[in-house]
């Protein structure tokens, strides 16, 4: 029984860390899937000037981009000195048979190379900084390629060589609901240009939920809303737990990005005690209850709802 328990705990690894035979084919298949796209056997480098002879329009467009200016005029490494062939591979075989798509590396949905192979080419240079956690990220796991969002040859944006004029128009191709919420009257100032999608998300991958670059949602919100950080003498538990308990970050038709209007929002938790369970429980027979919902907002009295440092602020009042 003890031996069976040890084997169950070790899983595919045997005693001493040895890989059991049943796990070897899967590991080999994963390694083959992650192998980068290589040049055709016997292919040699020709130089970017040879590429320019046939692809004059593409070469001229590429030369005006940031990457083109670096590769063609200010190369910093042997890879960058290859110019066009740094990404598309050596071109001798392609020159012999231009119709064969396997003779060079191509990008986009019509490429014979897989998304992983295409991305491997980009990761030769772009593997640090914000791309550090690309492997295993949500976008990588859904076979999103670099060229899905970026256009090396003819970018539409002033920065980051995006395929759309701005991030909002780019992200709405896959996230239309969240972008549509930006059109609500209460919204983050993204469409005004004060924030961008990448102000709160890292599309290249993170180790946290929702591709946020901080350890938690609250830590992300505290970047701008520092007065809500605390510490407070009296803390509001749902506030400290997650800002999303009460707010919709992308946009809402309620004041202050609230998920639902007050007092309904507060009554999801505070449905008992000295206040009525519904906004108009007393009606005309008990006007005292109605006065407690003056302006239909709990925050008119409990104004320090995120936390209070007053000695008697346990009810988050002034």
In a domain, 108, yes or no: no
At 29, the pLDDT band (50, 70, 90 cuts) reads very low
* Number of domains present in the structure of the chain: 3
pLDDT of residue 233: 92
Q: What is the mean pLDDT of residues 22-28?
A: 38
Residues spanned by the domain of 64 = 48-103
Residues 112 and 101: their CA atoms lie apart, in Å, by 7
Mean pLDDT of 2-7: 40
Check whether 4 has a pLDDT greater than 60: no
Please tell me whether residues 96 and 123 are part of one structural domain.
no
**pLDDT averaged over every residue in the chain:** 82
pLDDT for 175: 95
The token pair at 187 is 């919204």
Cis peptide before 102 (omega within 30 of 0): no
Query: Are the C-beta atoms of residues 220 and 269 closer than 8 Å to each other?
Result: no
Whole-number pLDDT of residue 33: 39
pLDDT band at 299 (very low <50, low <70, confident <90, very high): confident
Pair of tokens at residue 153: 């040859």
pLDDT range class, residue 23, cuts 50, 70, 90: very low
State the pLDDT at residue 288: 46
First vs last C-alpha separation in the chain = 64
168-211 pLDDT, tens digit per residue, is 999 999 999 999 999 999 999 998 989 999 999 999 999 998 99
Between residues 316 and 22, the one the model is more confident about: 316
Model confidence at 166: pLDDT above 60: yes
Is position 189 within any domain?
yes
In this structure, is residue 69 part of a structural domain?
A: yes
Average pLDDT over residues 128-141: 92
SS3 of 193, please?
Answer: coil
Q: Is 4 exposed, middle or buried (0-12, 13-18, 19+ CB in 10 A)?
A: exposed
Q: Which of the four pLDDT bands, split at 50, 70 and 90, describes residue 214?
A: very high
Q: Each residue of 240-255: pLDDT tens digit?
A: 999 999 999 999 999 9
Q: Same domain for 235 and 263?
A: yes
Q: Which of 168, 186, 213 is the last residue of a domain?
A: 213
* Same domain? 298 vs 265: yes
Q: Which of 78, 103, 128 is the last residue of a domain?
A: 103
Query: What integer pLDDT is reported at residue 222 of this predicted model?
Result: 95
Q: Place 297 in a pLDDT band, splitting at 50, 70 and 90.
A: confident
Q: What is the pLDDT of residues 35-66, one digit of tens each?
A: 445 667 888 999 999 999 999 999 999 999 98
97 and 125 belong to one structural domain: no
Same domain for 89 and 142: no
Higher pLDDT, 190 or 19: 190
- Classify residue 31: in a domain, yes or no: no
Task: Work out the pLDDT band at 275, boundaries 50, 70, 90.
Answer: low
Q: 31: how many CB neighbours lie within 10 A of its CB?
A: 9
234 contact partners, CB below 8 Å, separation of at least 6: 307, 308, 309, 310, 313, 314, 316
The residue among 175, 190, 213 that closes a domain is 213
Among the listed residues 165, 226, 220, 225, the one whose alpha carbon sits nearest the alpha carbon of residue 191: 165
């Amino acid at each position: 029984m003890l031996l069976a328990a040890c084997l169950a705990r070790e899983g595919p690894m045997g005693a001493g860390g040895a890989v059991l035979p049943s796990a070897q084919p899967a590991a080999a298949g994963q390694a083959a899937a992650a192998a980068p796209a290589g040049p055709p056997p016997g292919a040699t480098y020709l130089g970017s000037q040879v590429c320019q002879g046939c692809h004059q329009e593409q070469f001229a467009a590429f030369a005006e981009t940031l990457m083109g200016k670096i590769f063609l005029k200010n190369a910093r490494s042997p890879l960058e000195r290859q110019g066009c062939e740094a990404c598309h591979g050596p071109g001798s075989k392609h020159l012999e048979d231009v119709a064969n798509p396997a003779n060079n590396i191509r990008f986009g949905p019509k490429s014979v190379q897989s998304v992983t192979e295409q991305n491997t080419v980009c990761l030769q240079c772009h593997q640090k900084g914000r791309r550090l956690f690309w492997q295993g990220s949500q976008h990588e796991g859904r076979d999103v390629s670099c060229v899905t969002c970026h256009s090396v040859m003819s970018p539409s944006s002033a920065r980051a060589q995006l395929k759309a004029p701005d991030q909002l128009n780019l992200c709405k191709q896959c996230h239309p609901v969240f972008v549509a919420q930006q059109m609500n009257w209460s919204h983050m100032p993204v469409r005004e240009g004060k924030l961008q999608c990448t102000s709160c998300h890292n599309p290249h991958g993170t180790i946290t939920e929702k591709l946020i670059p901080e350890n938690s949602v609250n830590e992300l919100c505290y970047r701008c809303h520092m007065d809500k950080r605390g510490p407070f003498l009296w803390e509001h538990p749902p506030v400290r737990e997650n800002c999303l308990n009460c707010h919709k970050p992308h946009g809402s038709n309620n004041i202050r990005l609230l998920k639902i209007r007050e007092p309904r929002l507060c009554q999801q938790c505070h449905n008992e005690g000295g206040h009525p369970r519904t906004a108009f429980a007393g009606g005309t027979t008990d006007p005292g209850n109605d006065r407690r919902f003056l302006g239909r907002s709990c925050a008119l009295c409990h104004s320090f709802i995120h936390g209070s440092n007053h000695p008697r602020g346990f009810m988050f009042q002034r």
